[in-house]
Amino acid sequence: MTAGAPIPRWALITGASGGIGAELAALAAADGYHLVLVARSADLLATLARTLTRLHSVEVLCVPLDLARREAANDLIARLAARAIVPDLLINNAGVGLYGLHQDTPLEAELALIDLNIVTLTRLTKRLVPEFLARGSGRILNVASTGSFQAGPYRAVYYASKAYVLSYSEALAEELAGSGVTVTALCPGPTQTGFHARSGMRHPLRILGGLVPIARPAAVARAGYQGLLAGKRLVIPGRVNWLLVESVRFLPRRFATAIFAFTSRPR
């Protein structure tokens, strides 16, 4: 780096090959952040990298990696260290869902879900927070869900994993208050990403009986990104999603769970 040259800013984004992750990458690139993009699909990452490099003249490091592997986070941190990259933004977006009766869903799939949604997110955060603190700055966005606020029959393990993400993020945000490091939990509702279909739902647009609007990934990403830069602790995109979350606070937990079960049951 030449004397007087601006210090490059980096954003590390997991689950960046499509959907909300790709939209977050586009927003960060438009702000001049160089990118470390992580996902399983090397082809999709490469296509996104070419587009963002052409549009915004940023450097993009693509890391094809299966983050459901328990050692994946350590492998990723090692790659960053080899390039002397310390991200300014850590966006833990990678996640997977699983739908069905708990007695029927594969145990290995549930354990992989836990490793991706919880373990890898925690490992990456744990490894980078000390570096953020040493520098006195850093922003973390953890993608949770409106499902973080309640139990989710037919997606029991997924909803439990997102409850962890929300609780972990809010607790860490309080611990880090005043340090220059912020933690934001993004809690989207149903989004047009193919996520619910991949989790095994045959009718993914009938979530909660079709009462909740299906959001566009770009809108969800924009809300989360703006909240991240503002240092907000919690972002719930969409007024209906916000009202849904607030209503759960006032309902008996068993009643709220029964309503969710009725509107989400297999058909």
Per 3-state DSSP, the chain is made up of helix, strand and coil in percentages (nearest 5) of 50, 15, 35
pLDDT score of 261 = 79
What's the one-letter identity of residue 173?
Answer: A
Strand 181-186, strand 138-143: pairing: parallel
Burial of 203 from C-beta contacts in 10 A (0-12 / 13-18 / 19+): exposed
Gap between the Cα atoms of 39 and 216, Å rounded: 21
pTM of structure = 0.90
pLDDT score of 212 = 72
33, 99, 154, 158: the active-site residue: 158
Tell me the CA distances in angstroms from 124 to 27, 138, 167, one per residue in order. Answer: 21, 13, 17
Instruction: Name the strand (E) or helix (H) holding 228.
Output: helix 217-230
Gap between the Cα atoms of 164 and 132, Å rounded: 22
CB atoms within 10 A of CB 210: 12
pLDDT score of 68 = 95
Catalytic residue check, 159: no
The rounded Cα 134 to chain-centroid distance in angstroms is 25
User: What residue ranges define each of the domains in the chain, with the CATH number in brackets?
Assistant: 10-264 (3.40.50.720)
Q: What is the pLDDT along the chain (267 residues), one digit of tens a residue?
A: 555 556 789 999 999 999 999 999 999 999 999 999 999 999 999 999 999 999 999 999 999 999 999 899 999 999 999 999 999 999 999 999 999 999 999 999 999 999 999 999 999 999 999 999 999 999 999 999 999 999 889 999 999 999 999 999 999 999 999 999 999 999 999 888 665 555 555 554 455 545 677 899 999 999 999 999 999 999 999 998 888 888 887 777 787 788 777 777 776
Gap between the Cα atoms of 68 and 115, Å rounded: 5
pLDDT score of 205 = 47
